[in-house]
Structure formats: C-alpha cells, structure tokens
A = this chain, B = another copy of it.
Amino acid sequence: MTRVRVHNLSISLDGFAAGEPQSLESPMGHASQRLHAWMIATRFGAALMGRESGTTGIDDDFAQQHEHGFGAEIMGANKFGPPGWQDDADWRGWWGDNPPFHTPVYVLTHRPRALIEMDGGTTFHFVDASAVQSLALAKEAAGNLDVRIGGGADVVQQFLAARLVDHMHVVQVPIVLGRGAHLWSGLEGLEDDYDVEVVASPSGVTHLTFEKKTL
C-alpha cells in the first residue's frame, strides 16, 4: 500500500526549515547551508553533489531513505524556485537537466503551467490543488510505490495538519535561526497521532522519526 513519507527535513532548534529572505542566490536565506551540512557530508549527499566520497554511519543511513521506494513527489512552489519563478517562463527548477527525482513531481502553485519533461524520468506537473487533491494525483501516479512530500515547511505542515503523512524523518540541527519558514505552527497535539523516536548522531544532529499510529 502506498505510504506518504517525508525525509531529510532539516530544522533548527527553534523549528525553522529555511531562513530568510529566500532568493535565487540564497535559496535557504540566512540559514545558507547550515541546515543541510550534515547531509552534504554523507555518502548520500556526496553522490547528489557529484563528489566521490562521503561519510557512512547513522546520518548516511537516514539520508539514503530519501531515495527508496518512491513513485511520485509533491512539493510546494517555494521549493521549486525562488520567489517570482512563476514570472519566468524558462524556469525549470534548481536541479539541472536531470533532477534527482526520477518520478512525476507535483508542484503546488496557484499559477499552473504546462508540464515539463526532464531527463532521467522526472516530470514536473504544476497543479492548483489542495493537499488531498494533489495526493490523489500523486498516488495514482505512484502505483504501488510511496509518495514523498518534498517540502517546504508550509507544505509538510499542511499535510501533517490533515494527518496525511504516514512517516516523517526530521533532522534537528543545533542552531537557532530566529526567523524563516517554521515547521511546527498549527500542529498542537501531533503526538496524539504519531509515535516519535529520537536518535542523536555523533555528528551533532538529532534524527526524529514520526510514525503514524495505527488505529
């Protein structure tokens, strides 16, 4: 059965998944690479960045889960491009000709455009849809595989609030960002519906997993 999963969602101690302001030059705002340095250091991150080597161990073990078993992704407009990308007819995402998704990707936007077929099996679909509606599309596309909610924080928050997420992996980085895109707003009582497990990594980050309780 298709499960809905979130992986490698990095947040600060104060719950921000990105800094501000976000721009073409600085996609994560004042957070720069600090939220994702743990991942870039791993073998998983090295492969993404075209480097040859990276760390193995707990951080890499968690990071690799991001890739396994997905048939579709849903992402927010803020993940697909910098503010204003909807005004640029040529914008095709941050990831070059061969994005690391290799599945249909549903981009939530109030200004949809024609789909874009990329190399390597990634197709960007632009949909003006609710969480529930977009999930129906993504599940249809994913077949027996899972659906990844790719972020940003606002989209993950929306799916969590609707209890549509089956599994979430959050990485807490020991920095205080003070401002940016906040994950936890509007999620009071989340623990009633999720089992939470925590593992501290020797790298200094903390891995939290949220597994939806079975009724």
Contacts and interface: CB of A to CB of B under 8 A. Distances in A.
A172 B12 CA distance: 13
Interface stretch (A64-72, A86-94, A143-151, A190-198): A190-198
Nearest to A201: B198
Contact of A174 (B13, B188, B191, B205): B191
A28 to B, nearest CB: 15
Nearest to A189: B176
Nearest to A188: B178
Which one of A13, A174, A186 has the highest number of Cβ atoms from chain B below 10 Å of its Cβ? A13
Number of this chain's copies in the assembly equals 2
B174 A179 contact: no
A204 interface: yes
A132 interface: no
B196 A206 contact: no
Interface in A67-124: none
A199 to B, nearest CB: 6
13 contacts: A14-B15, A15-B15, A175-B191, A176-B187, A176-B190, A176-B191, A178-B184, A178-B188, A178-B189, A179-B188, A197-B204, A198-B204, A199-B200
